[in-house]
Structure 1
Amino acid sequence: MNTKSLVRFAAVAAFALAPGLADAHTGLGHVDGFAHGFAHPLGGLDHVLAMVMVGLFAAQLGGRARWLVPASFLAAMVAGGALGFAGVGVPFVELGIGLSIVVLGGVVAFNLQAGVTVAMALVGFFAVFHGYAHGAEMPESASGLAYGAGFALATALLHAAGLGVGLALDGKAGARRAMVVRSIGALVAFAGIGVVTGLV
């Protein structure tokens, strides 16, 4: 898939997600299975910010990282979701989610040029906490497979939105693009500090 196709896909994803952000957790419509799983990641600013940062981080790294980094997040998130669904204890889940926003926003702000394996490990570590929260909060009446597919798809679309923003800015003047992307990362990192300290 070329850069223009990725940007178009991300734009479509952003438009598709907009109604979900407005309707998440309203109690309207189906609240179990796929629909609930899809809405869950969109209902919290912490999830949205971290997942978009994964896509933006992948765009900064370029090359194979554009798909390997988001894919590693998805795989680790599903594993974390299974732990949450099974009731296995994972400590510091909320702190891990909050710190994921700070760290992922920070790596984008500082344009950290990590190796692909390091980047995959970093996002995978934080993905376990996000996945655990999704799995632990799954309604008892929901189908685990359908619910998991829903939150995985929503997450992939959020990654695509971040990746699309990064790729769209990649075509702009170098210094200005870098400043815009790094500023977005810095704002997200500060929002993460607010989440961790309870101010947001």
Structure 2
Amino acid sequence: MKSALKSGLLALAAVALPAVASAHPAIGEAAGFSHGFAHPMSGLDHILAMVMVGVFAFQLAGRATWLVPTTFVLVMALGGVFGIAGIIVPFVETGIALSVVVLGAIVALHVKAPLATALGIIGLFAIFHGYAHGAEMPENAAGAGYAAGFMIATALLHAAGLALGYLIGRAGERQGLFVTRTAGGLAAVAGVGILAGLI
């Protein structure tokens, strides 16, 4: 139990550390792949939502383990295209904050949604996250490199969520469920704080 919890905390620290380091990338590196990679890591809302997607995928198990994160990354890329092209998507910041609340609550409540429903929820939120990445692309950034950067960073955050789910699962059914519900609940509360502008 202690070993699994320790491993889980180390995984969370590994996810959070790049966010702190990349929150203010150097001016000379604010373009292309490096800037695209840094963008998802520079906001608590993006980090929490991406990790919760990974944990949600782990909870659903089976095909969802790879379909949920893959769908998110692909639909997010479409949202990125909308942002780069200047196509208006309303309520982007609200949608991003709500994604943290909803995904955190789904993980906390251990919701076993049908795969089609899960993909629909994931796809909707992916549009908002992708749009934010695309709309905030610097003018001097290479589009393909920037897109590859934020897609790879997102996939890594999903992988961290899957790993976290696995480590929590190793704690045992009873303890693991408590830790998962706590993590999801904390993410949901943080999402409410982001939505209210308190975080």
- Give the TM-score normalised by the residue count of structure 1: 0.90
Name the SS for the 1:88 alignment partner: coil
Alpha-carbon deviations, 1:122-161, whole Å to 9, x = none?
1110010000000000001111110000000000000000
- The ranges of structure 1 where at least 4 consecutive aligned residues each deviate by more than 6 angstroms after the TM superposition are 11-14
In structure 1, the partner of 2:52 is 53
The runs of 5 or more residues in structure 2 that have no matched partner are 1-6
Q: 1:29 to 1:141 in 2, by over 3 A?
A: closer
The structural deviation recorded for 1:49 is 0.4
In structure 2, the partner of 1:155 is 154
In structure 2, the partner of 1:170 is 169
Does the 8 A contact of 1:69 with 1:120 survive in 2? yes
Alignment-mate amino acid for residue 145 of structure 2: A
Alpha-carbon deviations, 1:20-53, whole Å to 9, x = none?
5313323255110000000000000000000000
1:198 matched to 2:197: yes
1:80 matched to 2:49: no
1:95 matched to 2:97: no
- Give the TM-score normalised by the residue count of structure 2: 0.90
The structural deviation recorded for 1:12 is 8.5
In structure 1, the partner of 2:3 is none
Name the SS for the 1:25 alignment partner: coil
In structure 1, the partner of 2:111 is 112
Q: 1:13 to 1:195 in 2, by over 3 A?
A: closer
Name the SS for the 1:152 alignment partner: helix
The structural deviation recorded for 1:16 is 7.8
In structure 1, the partner of 2:120 is 121
The structural deviation recorded for 1:114 is 0.5
Identity of aligned residues (%): 53
In structure 1, the partner of 2:20 is 21
Q: 1:144 to 1:22 in 2, by over 3 A?
A: same
Q: 1:195 to 1:12 in 2, by over 3 A?
A: closer
Does the 8 A contact of 2:104 with 2:185 survive in 1? yes
The runs of 5 or more residues in structure 1 that have no matched partner are 1-7
Alignment-mate amino acid for residue 135 of structure 1: G
CA distance in 2, matches of 1:185, 1:40: 23
Does the 8 A contact of 1:83 with 1:135 survive in 2? yes
Does the 8 A contact of 2:73 with 2:155 survive in 1? yes
The structural deviation recorded for 1:115 is 1.2
